[in-house]
Amino acid sequence: MLPNILRSPFVPMTLLVLIMIFLILSLSGPDSVQQGLARYSFLGFTCLLFLWISLIRLNNRKNPQNRIHSWGVIPPEFREMDEGQQWVTFKACRNVYIYYTYALPAAAIFCFVFFKWPIAPLLAIGVLGLGQYLVYWLTIRKLNHF
């Protein structure tokens, strides 16, 4: 169960959301409440990151034959153990690529329309990242019949 949790896209997606909240609140202004919320979101990000790394190390000690690399180039959700799983990863990456062909122009239009809003590019990048994780996860889930 632990490898499935560690390989799910929800942990990186949660880390992305927390860092985006931190950056948006940090850029919002000098209000003490917003700065306090920014600090708490960064603290939550840091705690979750250390927990994730600790669980990966625990998993790697228990399963040395099926290691997860926390700082590797290949994301941990890629499970290319055999040809079937490689095909599932291929289809999911293909769907993410198709998602980006529509999402990048939409993000550019969003940034162009809201150019006076200083956090518009940050929101666009955050939504693009969340969309990527959702498309990938939904495709994996559909192809693995979960």
Residue 53 confidence (pLDDT) above 70: yes
pLDDT in tens, 6-28: 777 777 778 878 888 887 777 76
Report, in angstroms and rounded to the nearest whole number, the Rg of the chain calculated over CA atoms.
18
| Residues contacting residue 24 through CB under 8 Å, at least 6 positions apart | 119, 122, 123
Q: What token pair was written down for 15?
A: 């880390």
Which of 4-8, 41-45, 55-59, 81-85 has the highest average model confidence (pLDDT)? 55-59
Does 71 or 133 have the greater pLDDT score? Answer: 133
The whole-angstrom distance between residue 42's C-alpha and the CA centroid of its chain comes to: 16
User: What 8-state DSSP symbol labels residue 78?
Assistant: -
Predicted TM-score of the model (pTM): 0.63
Residue 97 confidence (pLDDT) above 70: yes
Residue 74 confidence (pLDDT) above 70: no
Q: What is the mean pLDDT of residues 134-141?
A: 89
Q: What is the mean pLDDT of residues 49-64?
A: 87
Answer for the pair 102, 54: CB distance below 8 angstroms, yes or no.
Answer: no
Residue-level pLDDT at 71: 66
Q: What token pair was written down for 61?
A: 């000690």
Q: pLDDT grade, residue 101 (50/70/90)?
A: very high
Answer for the pair 18, 41: CB distance below 8 angstroms, yes or no.
Answer: yes
Residue 146 confidence (pLDDT) above 90: no
Residue-level pLDDT at 104: 93
CA distance to 40, 71, 118, per residue, from 84 (Å): 42, 25, 45
CA distance to 24, 38, 42, 93, per residue, from 77 (Å): 27, 29, 24, 11
